[in-house]
């Protein structure tokens, strides 16, 4: 050990408590200034003596004495602190006020603002049926109580179910179905005796960009006014789900979002950061459901508001909506598995496709600029257009590709647009499927 390193007889080298490095004192000069310790006599200071043999000088002895006195003072202080803690009263815990929200937090362009705006125009919907209760959400369309929601939320009320709707202020109203559009999974209901409701502001889904932040409001698992946020993950996705009969697959085109959407969110608003409704929440991809409950993978889907506006206006005016008709049939199982596109099994005589020169066996690869990889894509893309609209359709690929213009037909949307899983030649699956367009053709 270096002789200049002070020591404590009981603890060894004096160590700095913060840096854990040794504290060194001057090894050869006596202390020129001394501060007396309470109750301690000052040591006698004298001139340094010559070293004798292996001994140490008196200044070092003085230094060691000071270190020992310092250690004793520290020990005393620690003892006093412990005694003080032991005699102190039990502390009383209290909360501090949270910082006030800044102006930016409640201005357009923030999640807080979007949530506040959307919550005022969101309704909770409960449908009581003989076989159970369905819950969902809705978007308030008018002060007197017209509300937009999903068809699958209120489908049970068509056969006598009872609808109860709770709005943002907690009031509950009975409601009836104004009209439904099964192919688009949309419906409009009317609250009885309602007035002074806050209508939602509808936005423009065609202006959305991938990565744009959005907010969903609804009642997942009966938890009213639940707000979740995320982004737009994709603008055009083919959404498929089992149809009501279980014999086919219902198809539509939707917005994809990673915003958490769960059972009970169906029919509620998906809004941008301006608080404008850009979609109607409709479905979530849960992958393989386990016995322990639903598994969520962050794949939510909403019906674009541009589509929902057209359907809602028709339901409000006529109590029914229309959908476009292409007039072909096919299935998810193409006759040629190597073909990428929607292979046409048959063409409706006198229909829109026939008039454009589309024939059985043709493979449709694009609708407008949207690529088509299978028959479900074809159906979903047709549904994005309006009845009577002229749409370019590409048949084949590569050097064999050709494009034809098709003026789409129209049909009243009375049942889901579905697709059989195998080809039956007339749009059905072994006779048990769902016929398109009254027995033949694609509607869309």
Closest CA relative to residue 153, chosen from 190, 115, 126: 126
Question: Which three-class secondary structure state does DSSP give residue 228?
Answer: strand
Instruction: For residues 200-229, give the mean pLDDT.
Output: 91
> Distance between CA atoms of 116 and 118, rounded to whole angstroms?
6
Cα–Cα dist 433/430, whole Å: 7
Is the pLDDT at 335 greater than 90? The verdict is no
In order of 70, 324, 417, 444, the CA distances from 382 in angstroms are: 89, 7, 11, 6
Quick one: which of 205, 316, 288 has its CA closest to 253? 205
Give alpha helix (H) positions in 246-393.
305-318, 352-355, 375-383
- pLDDT at 246 > cutoff 60: no
**Distance between alpha carbon 251 and the CA centroid of its chain, in Å?**
22
Indicate the helix (H) or strand (E) that contains 426.
none
Domain boundaries, the chain: 7-75, 106-318, 322-419
Sign of the CA dihedral 99, 100, 105, 111?
Answer: positive
Whole-number CA gyration radius for the chain: 38
Q: Lowest mean pLDDT: which of 27-31, 184-188, 211-215?
A: 27-31
**Best mean pLDDT range from 17-21, 217-221, 245-249:** 217-221
pLDDT digits (tens, 9 = 90+) for 279-311: 999 987 655 443 444 445 668 899 999 999 999
Reply yes or no on whether the pLDDT at 376 is more than 80: yes
What is the model's pLDDT at position 166?
A: 95
Question: How far apart, in whole angstroms, are the C-alpha atoms of residue 270 and residue 282?
Answer: 10
Closest of 327, 302, 303, 435 to residue 378, by C-alpha: 327
Architecture of domain 322-419: Roll (2.30)
pLDDT at 225: 80
Alpha helices in 147-258 (DSSP H): 151-154
The catalytic residue positions are 152, 185, 266
CATH level 2 (architecture), domain 106-318: Beta Barrel (2.40)
pLDDT over 80 at 328, yes or no: yes
Q: What is the pLDDT of residues 125-179, one digit of tens each?
A: 999 988 888 899 999 999 999 999 999 999 888 777 899 999 999 999 999 999 9
Q: What is the band of 239 on the pLDDT scale with cuts at 50, 70, 90?
A: confident
CA distance 27 to 182: 94
187, 315 Cβ separation under 8 angstroms: yes
- Do 416 and 150 meet the contact criterion of CB atoms below 8 Å apart? no
Q: Which of 98-112, 230-244, 326-340 shows the highest mean pLDDT?
A: 230-244
What per-residue confidence (pLDDT) applies to 105? 64
Helices (H), 123-247: 151-154
The overall average pLDDT reported for the chain is: 75
């Amino acid at each position: 050990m270096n002789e200049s390193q002070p020591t404590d007889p009981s603890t060894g080298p004096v160590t700095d408590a913060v840096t854990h490095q040794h504290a060194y004192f001057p090894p050869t000069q006596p202390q020129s200034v001394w501060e007396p310790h309470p109750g301690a006599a000052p040591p006698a200071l004298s001139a340094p003596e010559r070293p004798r043999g292996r001994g140490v000088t008196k200044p070092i002895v003085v230094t060691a004495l000071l270190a020992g006195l310092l250690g004793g003072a520290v020990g005393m202080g620690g003892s006093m602190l412990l005694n003080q803690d032991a005699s102190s009263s039990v502390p009383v815990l209290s909360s501090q006020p949270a910082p006030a929200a800044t102006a930016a937090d409640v201005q357009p362009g923030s999640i807080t603002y979007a949530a506040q705006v959307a919550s005022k125009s969101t309704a909770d919907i409960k449908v009581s049926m003989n076989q159970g209760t369905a819950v969902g959400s809705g978007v308030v369309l008018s002060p007197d109580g017209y509300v937009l929601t999903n068809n699958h939320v209120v489908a049970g009320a068509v056969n006598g179910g009872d609808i109860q709707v709770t709005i943002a202020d907690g009031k509950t109203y009975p409601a009836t179905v104004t009209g439904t559009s099964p192919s688009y999974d949309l419906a409009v209901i009317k609250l009885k005796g309602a007035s002074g409701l806050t209508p939602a502001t509808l936005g423009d889904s065609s202006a959305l960009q991938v990565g744009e932040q959005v907010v969903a409001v609804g009642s997942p698992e009966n938890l009213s006014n639940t707000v979740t946020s995320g982004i737009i993950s994709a603008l055009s996705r083919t959404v498929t789900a089992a149809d009501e009969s279980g014999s086919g697959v219902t198809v539509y085109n939707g917005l994809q979002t990673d915003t958490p959407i769960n059972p009970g969110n169906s029919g509620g608003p998906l809004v941008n950061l301006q608080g404008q409704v850009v979609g109607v929440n409709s479905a979530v991809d849960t992958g393989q459901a386990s016995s322990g409950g639903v598994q969520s993978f962050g794949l939510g889907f909403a019906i674009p508001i541009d589509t929902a506006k057209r359907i809602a206006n028709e339901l409000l005016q006529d109590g029914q909506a229309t959908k476009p008709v292409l007039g072909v049939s096919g299935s998810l199982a193409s006759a040629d598995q190597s073909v990428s596109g929607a292979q046409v099994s048959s063409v409706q005589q006198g229909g829109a496709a026939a008039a454009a020169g589309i024939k059985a066996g043709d493979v449709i690869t694009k609708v407008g600029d949207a690529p088509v990889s299978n028959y479900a894509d074809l159906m979903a893309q047709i549904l994005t257009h309006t009845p009577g609209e002229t749409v370019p359709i590409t048949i084949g690929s590569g050097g064999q590709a050709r494009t034809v213009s098709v003026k789409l037909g129209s049909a009243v949307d009375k049942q889901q647009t579905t697709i059989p899983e195998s080809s039956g030649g007339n749009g059905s699956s072994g006779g048990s499927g769902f016929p398109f367009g009254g027995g033949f053709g694609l509607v869309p």
